[in-house]
Amino acid sequence: MKIEWNKMTWDSKLLAVVVFVGVLGLGFYFGAQYQQIKIQNLRTLENYGQIKNITHASTPSVYPSDKVYGEVEKVIKSGATVTAFGRAPITSLPSDVYISQEGWIMNLGTIQFLIILQLNRNYAVEYPGHGEAKWAGLLIDDHGQWFKFFTVHNTPDSTNAGAVIHPNVVGVFAESGKLYVDVADDRGAGSGEGSLIRYFTVDGGKIWQQEAQSYYFIPEIYYIKVKGEEDLVERITPHRIKHTAEESFKEFEQGTTKIQ
């Protein structure tokens, strides 16, 4: 049989069609498998490390006076909202808080809060002498002096023997007569993500309660930032994050929010 290399025949056409369909089918198959693995991984992250055990709120014992708690309660009930204005030079910190731990100031009416961070995979905090954080959480200003208002506690990681979870306060907001503090770990899919638990108080911060369900924290949909000012958080949108990673990623796909 003489082979004509430059001539298209019916069998070569058939072979081309078979190859095309086969490659296309493999592409759909592996794409579907990848998506299924991705979704499964996200679902696994939803309860990664038993998020409800990462921290608990403690009633401060060293700290603001009953008058301050009363002022917070009054401002919350007035309907004031929380805004944030980025980082600013801070003085008069508690003795066990390093300046390098300063996060950002959040204002609730006339009341100022200061987030105090600790080192984890989402926040590159440096300590003097390569030490460790002695305290992390939320401070409140009382006439120029900062007091501890909400304490974050580290706990053992139940999924990794010997490891410790180092969560951080990531936001504060007020609505419906309650003040909320959001605490997130660093064990998400990357880029600042993690599991988040939400606490609230109705008495100005004396007693804190934890919401029953956790959330999947994605910074890009949680924070509203001024356009062009990546380090300035204007406020937060706490209800864009959802209870599962899959739902939060769907919200993320709709786009981030910035003030123009």
What average pLDDT values come out for the chain (260 residues) when binned by 10 residues?
Answer: 54 61 58 42 34 38 74 92 73 85 89 92 83 90 88 83 89 93 87 91 91 92 70 77 91 67
Whether the Cβ atoms of residue 94 and residue 138 lie closer than 8 Å to each other: no
Res 232: pLDDT? 60
- Residue 99 domain flag: yes
Res 170: pLDDT? 93
Res 8: pLDDT? 55
- Residue 125 domain flag: yes
Half-sphere exposure of 176 (CA within 13 A, CB side): 2
Res 181: pLDDT? 95
- Residue 36 domain flag: no
The CA-atom distances, in angstroms, between 37 and each of 32, 126, 180, 203, 217 are 9, 36, 34, 45, 20
- Residue 234 domain flag: yes
Whether the Cβ atoms of residue 78 and residue 117 lie closer than 8 Å to each other: no
Distance CA(208)–CA(171), nearest Å, equals: 15
- Residue 3 domain flag: no
- Residue 22 domain flag: no
Task: Tell me, letter by letter, the H, E, C secondary structure of 69-134.
Answer: HHHHHHHHHCCCCEEECCCCCCCCCCCCCCHHHEEEEEEECCEEEEEECCCCCCCCCCCHHHCCCC
- Residue 24 domain flag: no
Q: Which of 209, 219, 208, 227 is nearest to 252 (CA)?
A: 219
The H or E element that residue 148 is part of is: strand 145-151
* pTM across the whole model: 0.73
Res 87: pLDDT? 67
Domain that holds residue 187: 47-259
Look at the chain and report how many structural domains it folds into.
Answer: 1
- Residue 168 domain flag: yes
Res 52: pLDDT? 35
